[in-house]
Structure 1
Amino acid sequence: MRLISEDSRRIALPVSWKRYAAAAVVVAAAATAGSVAVDADSAWYRSLRKPAWQPPSWAFGVVWTPLYASIAFAAGHALGRTRGREGARLAASFGVNLALNAGWTWLFFRRRSPRAALAGTLILDLSNAELIRRTSRTDPVAARALLPYSAWCVFATALNISLTRRNP
């Protein structure tokens, strides 16, 4: 008699799930790398003059969670539809974009520089446009999934502009 745990057969996940899982791990790593720098309770951050239309601090986590999920979905979906050089370029675009995304919090919170963060978010906005353009060539569904993320980043850029103007 064999115990179930002794069974040497493995259930193989379809390759698509592996792609989505890998994308989720990379996105989660970028989100974690960025969140490590956030300190919304610091005296410096609390002292900043903020616009009345800035969402409360708790809202950022609520918004970013589904946005990161949509990035992971888009990456997993699109990378399954590209091969060769185009696939490598698309993967690189996602990687650069996630690095820029995580980098913003380091510029803003750790460097305590709304100006440097503004430069970072403007570059991120350009990266988002390039990522959506590149993704749409092979996977319009994944490109559309990136639109809320891009829209939120544009909102964050406007917020960053306001913070920079109010806190020279």
Structure 2
Amino acid sequence: MGPILISGGIAALLGLIGGLMTPIDEWYRDLRKPSWQPPNWAFGPAWTIILGLAAWSAVVAWSAASDNFARRTVILLFASNAVFHLLWSPLFFRLRRPDWALGEVVFLWASLVALVGGLWPISHLASLLIVPYLLWVSFAAYLNLSIVLLNSPFR
């Protein structure tokens, strides 16, 4: 029960902080965005599902870890991802620097590639549960790039 509560709590905290760091204000509404951007209301449910799958992945990986080294690997991979996950929204929305967020999303994306690859030897299921997160961040990175190209320079 402990891993479920911990991973679920961390996922909820990441979602809450991400939501608080993502004001949909006049600045954001005035940005030029590509026509294919999803509606604003879609992002909350998408992140809820993605973070829920990540929490499930963490529980599966923790349970499948055969020794302390594997458990430390699980913690390190998820902790690194959490740091990069938390950095993107403040850069884009609070500092109003989509260009900086575009640089940061590379690290977020790399942390997900590391999660998929690092979890695979521990649990194939745990690894596969991260794939939707990786796909969503890939899409979000392309959206971020499009917004930068449509609106730069930023200051």
TM-score range, shorter chain: over 0.9
Counterpart AA for 1:44 = W
User: What is the deviation of 1:86?
Assistant: 2.4
Do residues 55 (structure 1) and 38 (structure 2) align?
yes
**CA offset digits 1:111-153 (Å, max 9, x no partner):** 1000111011111111100011000111001111111111001
Q: 1:36 aligns with which of 7, 14, 20?
A: 20
Tell me the TM-score normalised to structure 1 length.
0.87
Quote the residue 1:144 is aligned against. 128
Do residues 162 (structure 1) and 146 (structure 2) align?
yes
> What stretches of structure 2 of length at least 5 have no aligned partner?
none
Quote the residue 1:93 is aligned against. 77
User: What is the deviation of 1:102?
Assistant: 1.9
> What stretches of structure 1 of length at least 5 have no aligned partner?
1-16
Quote the residue 1:116 is aligned against. 100
Counterpart AA for 2:45 = V
Secondary structure at 2:64 match in 1: coil
The percentage of aligned residue pairs carrying the same residue is 30
Contact 2:54 2:129 in 1 (8 A): yes
Tell me the TM-score normalised to structure 2 length.
0.94
Quote the residue 2:87 is aligned against. 103
User: What is the deviation of 1:21?
Assistant: 1.6
- Counterparts of 1:106 and 1:34, CA distance in 2: 8
Contact 1:20 1:77 in 2 (8 A): no
How many residue pairs get aligned? The number is 151
**Aligned-pair Cα RMSD in Å:** 1.0
Q: 2:62 aligns with which of 53, 63, 79?
A: 79
Contact 2:102 2:145 in 1 (8 A): yes
- Counterparts of 2:49 and 2:20, CA distance in 1: 19
